[in-house]
């Protein structure tokens, strides 16, 4: 697991640097309210969007870290087998706690290493749960099959596309396949999360490696919510991070929306905003939006979420 540790250390350095940079620079950046904004100050805002840029880059790094950890561990011999698949039952919502201990141990190590990955699951190709860690969350699942989830459908399509023409799909491509889902309320951790799924192949075969299932991590962005919450935002200023559907992952106005809203069922969509639509097609800039009847200035930019484009807004009323 040394490779995972190295990935984690690099991410920790990145997050600490981000917090220092934003804290040191935030007061001198976005100092214009909407009513005070002139053409000149708009240009200043565009030229001084370092906070937004660094936040977007750091979220990208966090997603890539989680993807790398899941991809590396998916090739571990302890993971790339399903020797207890015949013991899957609704009673345990997978296999019993005392079976496939080696795979469970890998999942536990991932959770211990990357604190934003709260659950790790192995699912069979049909969408049935094989194992989940922590086991307490596996056994309390409301159902056994999750083939209806966005992350399951997304990774299944990627795998199908890669397998259609194996002559054009090299080993590196197969080993880097990953799907990042939209935000959803997780049945496992009972709060908003995103699912990152990678395929698991039977590596005992030199060619035409059979698909064994999917290795899935449920990820929250708690550390970035904390960074945003720590910023000294002025009145009428707001930062929102949203997924490829325009649904909020992080919202500074919620004062810890992801972590504290364990009972939150309704997710907020901002897809109707012009800034959100522009960010989701890869653009960055500044535009006037209307939220709850009030005009706001929206500074926006995209976030590369591997299989999708997300975005981030800095709003000024």
For every residue of 171-210, DSSP letters joined together read HHHHHT--EEPPPEE-TTTSSEEEEEEEEEE-TT-SSSPP
Instruction: Based on the fold, state whether residues 112 and 245 are members of the same structural domain.
Output: no
3-state SS assignment for residue 4: helix
* Structural domain ending residue among the three candidates 219, 237, 255: 219
Residue 117 pLDDT: 93
- 286 falls within a domain: yes
CB 128 within 8 A of CB 144: yes
Both 149 and 253 in one domain: the answer is no
**Is there a domain that residue 154 lies in?**
yes
What is the radius of gyration, based on Cα positions, of the chain? 21
Final residue belonging to a domain, choices 170, 198, 219: 219
91/173 same-domain check: yes
Predicted local confidence at residue 187, as pLDDT: 79
Domain that holds residue 111: 75-219
Q: Are 252 and 294 members of one domain? A: yes
- Of 73, 68, 74, give the one whose Cα is nearest residue 10: 68
Cβ–Cβ < 8 Å for 298, 317: no
Last residue of a domain, one of 219, 246, 276: 219
Say if residue 135 is in the same domain as residue 198.
Answer: yes
What's the domain count of the chain? 2
279 in any annotated domain: yes
Q: Determine how β-strand 192-201 pairs with β-strand 184-185.
A: antiparallel
Whether 91 is covered by a domain: the verdict is yes
194 and 124 in a common domain = yes
Q: Is residue 69 part of a domain?
A: no
Distance CA 30, CA 305 (A): 26
Task: Show the low-confidence residues of the chain (pLDDT under 50).
Answer: 9-10, 12-34, 47, 168-170, 256-264
Burial label for 123, CB within 10 Å (0-12, 13-18, 19+), is buried
Chain-centre distance for alpha carbon 250: 11
**Would you say residue 70 lies in a domain?**
no
Q: Both 80 and 208 in a single domain? A: yes
DSSP labels for 29-90? S----GGG--HHHHHHHHHT-HHHHHHHHHHHHHHHHHHHHHHHHHTSTTTS--TTGGG-BT
Model-wide pTM > 0.85: no
Residues 210 and 83 occupy one common structural domain? yes
Structure tokens at 104: 């469970």
Same domain, residue pair 81 and 212? yes
**Is the same domain home to 212 and 229?**
no
pLDDT in tens, 36-70: 556 655 555 654 577 889 889 989 999 999 999 99
Same domain membership, residue 252 and residue 209: no
**Same domain, residue pair 254 and 188:** no
What pLDDT does 153 receive?
A: 96
Q: Which CATH number do you get for residue 30?
A: 3.30.450.20
Contact (Cβ atoms closer than 8 angstroms) between residue 113 and residue 4: yes
């Amino acid at each position: 697991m040394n490779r995972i540790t190295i990935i984690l250390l690099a991410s920790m350095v990145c997050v600490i640097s981000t917090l220092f940079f934003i804290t040191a620079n935030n007061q001198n950046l976005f100092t214009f309210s909407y009513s005070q904004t002139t053409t000149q100050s708009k240009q200043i805002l565009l030229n001084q969007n370092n906070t937004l840029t660094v936040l977007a880059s750091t979220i990208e790094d966090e997603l890539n870290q989680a993807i790398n950890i899941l991809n590396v561990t998916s090739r571990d011999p302890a993971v790339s087998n399903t020797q207890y698949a015949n013991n899957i039952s609704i009673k345990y919502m997978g296999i019993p706690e005392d079976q496939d201990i080696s795979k469970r141990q890998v999942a536990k190590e991932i959770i211990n290493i990357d604190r934003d990955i709260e659950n790790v699951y192995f699912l069979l190709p049909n969408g049935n749960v094989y194992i989940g860690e922590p086991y307490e969350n596996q056994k309390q699942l409301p159902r056994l099959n999750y083939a209806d989830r966005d992350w399951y459908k997304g990774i299944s399509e990627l795998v199908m596309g890669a397998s259609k023409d194996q002559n054009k799909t090299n080993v590196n491509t197969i080993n880097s396949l990953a799907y990042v889902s939209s935000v959803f309320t997780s049945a496992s951790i009972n709060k908003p999360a995103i699912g990152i799924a990678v395929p698991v192949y039977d590596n005992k075969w030199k060619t035409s490696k059979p698909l064994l299932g999917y290795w899935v991590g449920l990820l929250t962005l708690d550390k970035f919510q904390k960074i945003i919450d720590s910023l000294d935002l002025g009145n009428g200023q707001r930062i929102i991070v949203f997924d490829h559907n325009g649904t909020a992952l992080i919202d500074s106005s919620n004062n810890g929306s992801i972590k504290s809203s364990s009972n939150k069922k309704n997710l907020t969509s901002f897809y109707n905003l012009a800034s959100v639509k522009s960010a989701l097609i890869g653009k960055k800039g500044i535009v006037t939006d209307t939220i709850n009847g009030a005009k706001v200035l929206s500074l926006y930019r995209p976030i590369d979420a591997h299989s999708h484009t997300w975005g981030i807004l800095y709003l000024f009323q």
